[in-house]
Amino acid sequence: MSENSANPAEASAWGSSFRLTAAERWRKPSGAMGKPATEALVAFAAPQPGMHVLDLATGTGEPAISVAELVGPTGRVVALDQSSDLLEVAAKRAAERHLTNFETHCADAHRLDFPDASFDLATCRCGVMFFHDVVAALRDLGRVLKPGARACFLAWGPFEQPYWQTMIGVVLRHAGGPLLPPGGDNPFRFAEPRSLSRALKEAGFATVEEETRHIPWSWPGTPEDVWEYARAVAAPFKPLLARVKEEQWPAIHQDALSELRRRYDGTNVNFGATFVLAAGKKS
């Protein structure tokens, strides 16, 4: 997820606390769970050797690292995020793979301090939903892209799918009230078909394409672990979790784990996930 929240204080907390905790404790299982989504975005973006690529809201480095491996030593990838802590993790991961064409850049996606026409391609995995002024951010992205370059995004589909319903959905049924606070971060902002396409067109992109895709999404571990992980990194749902009364938690734990165990094969908790893939080309 991206740190570009409508509330700068929330963005800072998300970058320095929740996301870093996830990166440190849950790096391997969360990376394995997210790998098919990364692969889908990379295939959709189709980076070529020698390209200069900008990855927005990179977090701990994906898909930037995967892209760097494909553009090769004559290419370059800039991994951008507001969290310097997460960028340190990304840089370490790239160094472990001996990537010399990978660099990190700590900045806000709304204010890209790169010259015009600097990049051949842009990518962003599960970050665009959190840009507080998405059209302004996309316009600035268009500025730093070369003519004919594509900007490619992966965003969450609807809340009504197994990964969310088995955990956050259980909490919502017990706690009541809204899923998300009005005006706050919304992971499902672009779940409505063509909504991300409309933002790309409004920002001036041409040859806009969009598709909804079902992607494997499995936690390589126990139901108990994925339930703990989901609560630890659920930054947009913190107000919902805060509404839960202490006496409600035992029933919530029981119901969530019951749902998760139905999807557990002894090795993985298997969800599947629906994502939106969208791209626009700079004219």
Domain with 34 in it: what CATH number? 3.40.50.150
Token readout for 171 is 């909490």
Place of tokens 């969530």: 256
Domain that holds residue 16: 8-158+187-216+273-281
Residue 180 included in any domain: no
* Neighbouring residues of 136: CB distance < 8 A, sequence distance ≥ 6: 110
Q: Exposed e or buried b for every residue in 32-50, given b needs 16+ CB within 10 A?
A: ebbbbbbebbbebbebeee
Tell me whether the omega of the peptide bond preceding residue 63 falls within 30 degrees of 0, making it cis. Answer: yes
Residue 30 included in any domain: yes
Q: Round the CA-based radius of gyration of the chain to a whole number and report it.
A: 19
The Cα 150–Cα 207 span in angstroms is 9
Residue 233 included in any domain: no
Helix (H) or strand (E) holding 148: strand 145-156
Is residue 281 helix, strand or coil? strand
pLDDT at 25: 78
Q: What angle do CA 52, 55, 59 make, to 5 degrees?
A: 145
Residue type, 27: R
Token readout for 68 is 């760097």
Count up the domains in the chain and report the number.
Answer: 1
Residue 173 included in any domain: no
- Tens of pLDDT along the chain (283 residues)? 333 333 333 343 444 455 565 656 788 899 999 999 999 999 999 999 999 999 999 999 999 999 999 999 999 999 999 999 899 999 999 999 999 999 999 999 999 999 999 999 999 999 999 999 999 999 999 999 999 999 999 999 999 999 999 999 999 999 999 999 998 899 999 999 999 999 999 999 999 999 999 999 999 999 999 999 999 888 899 999 999 999 999 999 999 999 999 999 999 999 999 999 999 999 9
pLDDT at 100: 97
DSSP single-letter state for residue 50? T
pLDDT at 11: 41
